[in-house]
Homo-oligomer: A and B are copies of this chain.
Amino acid sequence: MAEPCTVRDLAARIGQTVTIRGWLTHYRSSGRIRFLVLRDGTGVVQTVVKAEAAELAGVESWEQIGQESSLIVTGQVHRDARAPVGVEVEVRAVQVLAATHEYPITPKEHGVDFLMDHRHLWIRSPRQAAILRLRSIIVQAIRGFLDSHGFVVADPPIITPTPAEGSTTLFAIDYFGEPAYLSQSGQLYMEALALALGRVYSFGPTFRAEKSKTRRHLTEFWMIEPEMAFCEFEENLVWQEQLVEHIAQQVLLRALGELNALQRPLAPLENIRTPFPRITYDEALVRLAQLGMPIAWGEDLGAPHETALANQFDCPVFVTHFPTHLKAFYMQPEPTRPEVVRAADLLAPEGYGEIIGGSQRIHDLSLLESRMAEHGLDASSYAWYLDLRRYGTVPHSGFGLGLERLVAWFGGLDHVRETTPFARTLNRVWP
């Protein structure tokens, strides 16, 4: 048997005889010619059986190889400009490892509930596999950018004693008889780590027990939370836009096959160039009024407002300086105008909404204590967090990037449930 070759690597093996190990996605015959379309996890390739002489092992006839049968195919690689991977394979031998019959997911249309019930199989479909590969490429791009800029990856705890922002949306667990909660943000811990290590980031799951059934919400989702010591508001925005630009460039470089499989128009991704536009909340209100969607100063932007604002730009846009009372207790008020905070949301174009939320954090102990009192927070629960301001406090900033929404945006997807292998939603914890 020739050495195994992945579908992705076939284009470099033209003229050679290779072995491909994978699964049948489609079978058809036309006269004496048979076509077996194979997937192997790295891509999809058409193979052609031109003669009865091709060896077949494991089953008695070609017709017994059903969709999702596992196969080892040996054949010669030919250039084929029409094929998605640029080649076709002329089959010499097929060994059937396991003939599959009555595979539940057929090329016909299935309902979403059926597909999610069969998610362990649905992920094999070329579209779903392309999304998961796109996610992996995006993960690598994020880590690559942060690693190469001196950020230390540091994992905040998942099991936490104190809710960071209220407890109504927390999953509670019994921790050997003590109450504890699943983290919905590692930020407070990342602040401690930034003061120890300079620049840090987390990359892990977070949890929100929201009873939301929207196309943007999962109860379990992955967040990237960078935090930088000696970093103020403006520098924080620059880190964010450079990170997003880097991801876009990497996706366009490494995930073109996946984007094509998803029929994702490339122009919106090619437009992602720094610097991103910045508008203040106040300016946003003026724009919304001009669009016939007025809101009063002090009210929060809803999803329709975010979409309307983002549609005015062909690039992600920062909305900055939100009213202080709308935002979390730890955000730094603007010194000359304390009714707004040094916080920004990054809104993606094409209706994908908030991708990043970030802010400069309050570094002054007494200001932080008074903000916590205004929020009715119990200082004893935050004793360790206050220590960060008591001992060697410095200006610091950070942000949180939601991975699934980012994947949905880059992939041009309708729903975040397809951006993660096994989505957890209000009504689903299976498979």
> Residues of A with Cβ closer than 8 Å to B?
4, 6, 8, 21, 23, 40-42, 68-70, 97-98, 100, 103-104, 118, 120-121, 123-124, 128-129, 132-133, 135-136, 139-140, 143, 147, 150, 152-161, 171-176, 178, 180, 182, 189, 192-199, 204-205, 207, 209, 211, 219-220, 222, 229-230, 384-385, 387-388, 390-395, 420-422, 424, 426-427, 429-431
B161 contacts A171, CB within 8 Å?
Answer: no
| A211 to B, closest residue via Cβ | B176
Q: Shortest Cβ distance from A417 into chain B, in angstroms?
A: 12
A41 contacts B157, CB within 8 Å?
Answer: no
- The docked-state distance in angstroms from the alpha carbon of A286 to that of B41 is 43
Question: 19 A-B contacts, Cβ less than 8 Å apart?
Answer: A21-B229, A21-B230, A23-B195, A40-B198, A41-B198, A41-B229, A100-B390, A100-B391, A139-B153, A140-B147, A157-B220, A158-B220, A159-B429, A172-B173, A176-B427, A189-B421, A192-B431, A204-B204, A384-B430
B180 contacts A173, CB within 8 Å?
Answer: no
Q: Shortest Cβ distance from A406 into chain B, in angstroms?
A: 14
Q: Shortest Cβ distance from A246 into chain B, in angstroms?
A: 16
B41, B124, B128, B394: which contacts A152 (Cβ < 8 A)? Answer: B41
| A68 to B, closest residue via Cβ | B392
Interface of A is mostly: mixed
B6 contacts A159, CB within 8 Å?
Answer: no
Q: In this complex, which of A159, A198, A388 has the most chain B Cβ atoms within 10 angstroms of its Cβ?
A: A198
What residues on B are CB-neighbors of A196 within 8 Å? Answer: 41, 123-124, 128-129, 132
- The docked-state distance in angstroms from the alpha carbon of A38 to that of B392 is 12
What residues on B are CB-neighbors of A211 within 8 Å? Answer: 176
B6, B180, B195: which contacts A429 (Cβ < 8 A)? Answer: B180
What residues on B are CB-neighbors of A70 within 8 Å? Answer: 392-394
A220 contacts B159, CB within 8 Å?
Answer: yes
Tallying the copies of this chain within the complex gives: 2
A154 contacts B171, CB within 8 Å?
Answer: no
What residues on B are CB-neighbors of A104 within 8 Å? Answer: 391
What residues on B are CB-neighbors of A135 within 8 Å? Answer: 153-154
A421 contacts B173, CB within 8 Å?
Answer: no
What residues on B are CB-neighbors of A229 within 8 Å? Answer: 21, 41
- The docked-state distance in angstroms from the alpha carbon of A211 to that of B177 is 12
B222 contacts A133, CB within 8 Å?
Answer: no
What residues on B are CB-neighbors of A207 within 8 Å? Answer: 158-159
Given known contacts A153-B136, A153-B139, is B391 in contact with A159 (CB within 8 Å)? no
What residues on B are CB-neighbors of A385 within 8 Å? Answer: 120
Given known contacts A143-B143, A175-B429, A387-B121, is B69 in contact with A392 (CB within 8 Å)? yes
Q: Shortest Cβ distance from A178 into chain B, in angstroms?
A: 6
